[in-house]
Protein backbone atom coordinates (compact mmCIF):
# COMPACT_ATOMS: atom_id res chain seq x y z
CA UNK A 1 0.00 0.00 0.00
CA UNK A 2 1.34 3.42 -0.95
CA UNK A 3 1.96 5.75 1.96
CA UNK A 4 0.47 9.21 1.76
CA UNK A 5 2.39 12.22 3.07
CA UNK A 6 0.93 15.65 3.72
CA UNK A 7 3.37 18.55 3.40
CA UNK A 8 2.47 21.93 4.85
CA UNK A 9 4.51 25.12 4.62
CA UNK A 10 5.09 28.12 6.79
CA UNK A 11 6.67 30.74 4.57
CA UNK A 12 7.03 34.50 4.50
CA UNK A 13 9.34 35.07 1.53
CA UNK A 14 8.83 31.76 -0.29
CA UNK A 15 11.99 29.90 0.76
CA UNK A 16 10.12 27.21 2.68
CA UNK A 17 7.69 26.77 -0.22
CA UNK A 18 10.59 26.14 -2.62
CA UNK A 19 12.05 23.52 -0.28
CA UNK A 20 8.61 21.91 0.14
CA UNK A 21 8.14 21.77 -3.65
CA UNK A 22 11.51 20.01 -3.95
CA UNK A 23 10.63 17.50 -1.21
CA UNK A 24 7.26 16.86 -2.85
CA UNK A 25 9.10 15.92 -6.09
CA UNK A 26 11.52 13.67 -4.21
CA UNK A 27 8.72 11.86 -2.37
CA UNK A 28 6.62 11.48 -5.52
CA UNK A 29 9.64 9.97 -7.28
CA UNK A 30 9.98 7.51 -4.38
CA UNK A 31 6.39 6.37 -4.91
CA UNK A 32 4.64 8.25 -2.12
CA UNK A 33 1.32 9.98 -2.62
CA UNK A 34 1.83 13.61 -1.63
CA UNK A 35 -0.55 16.45 -0.81
CA UNK A 36 1.03 19.90 -0.47
CA UNK A 37 -0.67 22.83 1.28
CA UNK A 38 0.81 26.34 1.42
CA UNK A 39 -2.17 27.59 3.47
CA UNK A 40 -3.18 24.50 5.43
CA UNK A 41 -6.27 24.39 7.60
CA UNK A 42 -7.15 22.05 10.43
CA UNK A 43 -9.40 20.10 8.04
CA UNK A 44 -6.41 19.54 5.73
CA UNK A 45 -4.27 17.91 8.40
CA UNK A 46 -6.44 16.41 11.15
CA UNK A 47 -6.87 12.99 9.53
CA UNK A 48 -3.37 12.73 8.03
CA UNK A 49 -1.14 9.87 9.14
CA UNK A 50 2.15 11.44 8.01
CA UNK A 51 2.77 15.18 8.22
CA UNK A 52 5.87 16.98 6.98
CA UNK A 53 6.14 20.62 8.03
CA UNK A 54 8.55 22.94 6.19
CA UNK A 55 8.69 26.33 7.87
CA UNK A 56 10.77 29.43 8.25
CA UNK A 57 10.88 31.45 11.47
CA UNK A 58 9.32 34.91 11.31
CA UNK A 59 9.70 38.03 13.42
CA UNK A 60 10.70 37.35 17.00
CA UNK A 61 10.83 33.56 16.64
CA UNK A 62 7.25 33.10 15.47
CA UNK A 63 5.49 31.02 12.86
CA UNK A 64 4.91 32.73 9.50
CA UNK A 65 1.47 34.27 8.91
CA UNK A 66 0.34 31.55 6.50
CA UNK A 67 0.73 28.76 9.09
CA UNK A 68 0.25 30.54 12.43
CA UNK A 69 -3.60 30.41 12.36
CA UNK A 70 -3.46 26.62 11.86
CA UNK A 71 -1.19 26.07 14.86
CA UNK A 72 -3.17 28.52 17.01
CA UNK A 73 -6.35 26.59 16.17
CA UNK A 74 -4.62 23.26 16.75
CA UNK A 75 -3.36 24.41 20.13
CA UNK A 76 -6.90 25.42 21.17
CA UNK A 77 -8.47 22.19 19.89
CA UNK A 78 -8.96 18.93 21.74
CA UNK A 79 -7.78 16.89 18.75
CA UNK A 80 -6.02 13.61 19.36
CA UNK A 81 -3.29 13.19 16.73
CA UNK A 82 -1.85 9.94 18.09
CA UNK A 83 -2.33 8.35 14.64
CA UNK A 84 0.03 10.94 13.13
CA UNK A 85 3.77 10.73 12.50
CA UNK A 86 5.56 13.98 11.70
CA UNK A 87 8.83 15.57 10.73
CA UNK A 88 9.97 19.19 10.48
CA UNK A 89 12.37 21.09 8.26
CA UNK A 90 13.12 24.61 9.47
CA UNK A 91 14.82 27.52 7.73
CA UNK A 92 16.32 30.31 9.76
CA UNK A 93 19.37 32.43 10.37
CA UNK A 94 21.81 31.85 13.21
CA UNK A 95 22.24 35.64 13.20
CA UNK A 96 19.12 35.67 15.40
CA UNK A 97 18.85 34.21 18.89
CA UNK A 98 15.44 32.80 17.86
CA UNK A 99 17.10 30.57 15.20
CA UNK A 100 14.48 28.13 13.90
CA UNK A 101 12.19 28.69 16.88
CA UNK A 102 9.21 27.94 14.61
CA UNK A 103 10.49 24.32 14.58
CA UNK A 104 10.17 24.22 18.38
CA UNK A 105 6.61 25.60 18.18
CA UNK A 106 5.61 22.97 15.59
CA UNK A 107 7.24 20.10 17.52
CA UNK A 108 5.73 21.11 20.87
CA UNK A 109 2.23 21.71 19.49
CA UNK A 110 2.08 18.43 17.56
CA UNK A 111 3.57 16.38 20.43
CA UNK A 112 1.07 17.95 22.86
CA UNK A 113 -1.70 16.54 20.64
CA UNK A 114 -0.15 13.05 20.68
CA UNK A 115 1.63 13.06 17.30
CA UNK A 116 4.84 11.03 17.08
CA UNK A 117 8.01 12.72 15.85
CA UNK A 118 9.75 10.42 13.35
CA UNK A 119 13.30 11.79 13.66
CA UNK A 120 15.32 14.83 14.68
CA UNK A 121 14.16 17.99 12.89
CA UNK A 122 16.38 19.58 10.26
CA UNK A 123 17.34 23.18 11.03
CA UNK A 124 18.89 24.92 8.02
CA UNK A 125 20.99 28.02 8.68
CA UNK A 126 20.22 30.08 5.58
CA UNK A 127 23.00 32.58 6.29
CA UNK A 128 25.71 29.95 5.70
CA UNK A 129 23.96 27.04 3.93
CA UNK A 130 22.82 27.95 0.43
CA UNK A 131 21.93 24.37 -0.57
CA UNK A 132 18.52 24.31 1.11
CA UNK A 133 16.98 21.76 -1.27
CA UNK A 134 19.94 19.37 -1.05
CA UNK A 135 20.15 19.65 2.75
CA UNK A 136 16.43 18.95 3.09
CA UNK A 137 16.65 16.06 0.62
CA UNK A 138 19.46 14.43 2.62
CA UNK A 139 17.33 14.75 5.77
CA UNK A 140 14.31 13.36 3.90
CA UNK A 141 16.01 9.98 3.46
CA UNK A 142 16.35 9.75 7.26
CA UNK A 143 12.71 10.76 7.71
CA UNK A 144 11.33 8.26 5.18
CA UNK A 145 13.51 5.44 6.56
CA UNK A 146 11.96 5.88 10.03
CA UNK A 147 8.32 5.94 8.93
CA UNK A 148 6.23 3.08 10.33
| pLDDT of 65 | 94
What is the model's pLDDT at position 40? 95
pLDDT of the chain along its 148 residues, tens only? 568 999 999 998 889 999 999 999 999 999 999 999 999 999 999 999 999 999 999 988 999 999 999 999 999 999 999 999 999 999 999 998 999 999 999 999 999 999 999 999 999 999 999 999 999 999 999 999 999 8
The number of distinct structural domains making up the chain is 1
User: What pLDDT, on a 0 to 100 scale, did the predictor assign at position 20?
Assistant: 97
Q: Domain residues for 24?
A: 4-147
Q: What is the pLDDT of residue 23?
A: 97
CA distance 19 to 128: 16
Give the CATH number, domain containing residue 44. Answer: 3.40.50.360
Backbone φ and ψ for 5, nearest 5 degrees, come out as -120, 135
Taking the CB of residue 68, how many other CB atoms lie within 10 A of it? 17
Q: Which residues contact 9 (CB under 8 A, 6 or more apart)?
A: 16, 17, 20, 36, 37, 38, 40, 53, 54, 55, 66, 67
Residue 3's pLDDT is: 87
CA distances for 95 relative to 78, 88, 99, 126, 130, angstroms: 36, 21, 7, 10, 15
Amino acid sequence: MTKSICIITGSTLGGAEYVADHLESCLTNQGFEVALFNHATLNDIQSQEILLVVTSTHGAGELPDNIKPLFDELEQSDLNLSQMQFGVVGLGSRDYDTFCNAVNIVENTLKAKGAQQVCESERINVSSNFEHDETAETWLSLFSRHLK
